[in-house]
């Protein structure tokens, strides 16, 4: 499974390590907390059987989802930095139960080479989450097309990314010009307008767009705390200028009709013609009044 230029879509070893280190920093923790909280609200009421998260699973977007089959899909470089998952531990009579007290098991891990070739059947997944996957992809529209392929009708797709129209986007643009980028290379910010165009081509209906992280692009937690007041101010006065966004879309199928056996049985029978109508009854009565026999009896 290869792409057009025979290169992996996800980041390689050095890029994955740089992205992991950035997320482990205080600025990365700030982004992780916001995205995990937003995704928890978005996926809590999404029901089905199969939930899929692609890319780095340092950001746990499936934590609040209650589907029985939750799967993490990552590249070899990203999976090598995570260590063993709880679901991949020892098994046997003496092994600890990886599932929680309520029977909720942690997601399983699948390692692949390319996100544009997912090892799932078409229309088999109810939820797909792409946290910062498109920013490290050479052809992000192909990944969206693959996500649309595996999604069921009325399935949900969630994409998170950095907003170029923000203070962080300005810092990234200045850093790229000066050689000191704010985000790990080769992160390419994707605008909401471009996502909306891609969704429209694929038939995905964007139903919710959320922005967050309004503080300046600072690396230390102490300076980030000093600008904590910008969270409430930004959410009220400049909501679309948040550093991070989360976009939720639903897969729509044109001309979809819900049909059941009762509806088919009710409307499939041919309708019987009426036995009599008001016009027919009036014609018969009028004809009887005008008949010669009735007139003779009346005169007699």
- One DSSP character per residue, 130-172 reads EES-GGG-SSHHHHHHHHHHHEEEEEEEEEEEE-SSSHHHHHH
The encoded tokens of residue 236 equal: 């009220």
The verdict on residue 187 lying in a domain is yes
Beta bridge partner(s), residue 251: 204
pLDDT of residue 102: 44
Mean pLDDT, the chain, whole residue set: 79
Domain range for 106: 13-251
CA pair distance 59, 130, nearest whole angstrom: 10
Residue 289 pLDDT > 90, yes or no? no
* pLDDT number for residue 52: 95
Q: pLDDT value at position 112?
A: 84
Residue whose pair of structure tokens reads 């980041």 in the numeric block: 11
More confident residue, 55 or 297: 55
Task: Give residue 271's pLDDT.
Answer: 57
pLDDT digits (tens, 9 = 90+) for 165-183: 999 999 998 888 887 888 8
pTM of the predicted protein model: 0.75
Mean pLDDT confidence for 29-56: 93
Q: What is the mean pLDDT of residues 19-29?
A: 91
Neighbours of 237 (CB within 10 A): 10
In a domain, 144, yes or no: yes
Cβ neighbours for 53, distance < 8 A, ≥ 6 positions apart: 61, 62, 70, 71, 72, 73, 107, 128, 129, 131
Residue 265 lies in a domain: no
* pLDDT of res. 106: 61
Model confidence at 205: pLDDT above 70 = yes
Distance CA 15, CA 8 (A): 12
Identify the pLDDT of residue 276: 54
Going by the DSSP 8-state scheme, the letter that residue 182 receives in this structure is S
- Round to whole Å and give the CA distance between 5 and 156: 30
Q: What is the pLDDT of residue 101?
A: 42
- In a domain, residue 256? The reply is no
Measured CA to CA in angstroms, residue 58 lies from 21, 50, 74, 224 at distances of 11, 20, 11, 21
First and final CA of the chain: distance in angstroms?
105
Q: Is residue 289 part of a domain?
A: no
Check which CATH number belongs to the domain holding 78 and give it: 3.40.50.150
Number of domains the chain contains: 1
Residue 276 lies inside a defined structural domain of this protein: no
What are the tens digits of pLDDT across the range 133-165? 999 888 899 999 999 999 999 999 999 999 999
- Establish if 293 belongs to a structural domain: no
Q: Which residue has the higher pLDDT, 80 or 54?
A: 54
Calculate what percentage of the chain has a pLDDT beyond 70: 71
Is residue 239 included in any domain, yes or no? yes
Q: What is the pLDDT of residues 81-129, one digit of tens each?
A: 655 444 443 333 333 344 544 445 667 888 887 888 899 999 999 999 9
Q: DSSP secondary structure string, 99-113?
A: S-TTS-PPPEEEEES
pLDDT at 266 over 90: no
């Amino acid at each position: 499974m290869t792409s057009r230029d025979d290169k992996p879509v996800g980041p390689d070893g050095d890029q994955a390590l740089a992205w992991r280190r950035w997320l482990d920093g205080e600025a990365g923790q700030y982004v992780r907390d916001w995205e995990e909280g937003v995704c928890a609200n978005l996926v809590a009421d999404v029901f089905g059987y199969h939930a899929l998260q692609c890319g780095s699973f340092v950001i746990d977007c499936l934590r609040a989802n209650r589907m029985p089959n939750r799967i993490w899909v990552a590249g070899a470089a990203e999976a090598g930095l995570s260590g063993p998952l709880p679901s991949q531990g020892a098994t046997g009579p003496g092994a600890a139960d990886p599932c929680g007290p309520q029977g909720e098991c942690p997601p399983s891990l699948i390692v692949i080479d390319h996100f544009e070739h997912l090892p799932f059947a078409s229309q088999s997944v109810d939820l797909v989450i792409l946290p910062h996957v498109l920013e490290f992809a050479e052809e992000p529209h192909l990944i969206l097309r693959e996500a649309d392929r595996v999604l069921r009708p009325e399935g949900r797709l969630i994409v998170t990314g950095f907003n170029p129209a923000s203070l962080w986007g300005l810092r990234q643009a200045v850093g790229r010009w000066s050689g000191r980028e704010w985000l790990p290379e080769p992160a390419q910010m994707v605008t909401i307008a471009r996502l909306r165009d891609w969704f429209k081509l694929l038939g995905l209906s964007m139903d919710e767009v959320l922005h967050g992280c309004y503080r300046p692009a600072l690396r230390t937690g102490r300076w980030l705390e000093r600008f904590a007041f910008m969270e409430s101010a930004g959410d009220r006065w400049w909501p679309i200028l948040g550093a991070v966004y989360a976009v939720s879309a639903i897969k729509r199928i044109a001309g979809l009709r819900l049909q059941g056996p009762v509806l088919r049985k009710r409307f499939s029978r041919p309708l019987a013609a009426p036995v009599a109508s008001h016009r027919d009854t009036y014609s018969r009565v009028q004809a009887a009044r005008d008949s010669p026999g009735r007139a003779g009896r009346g005169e007699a």
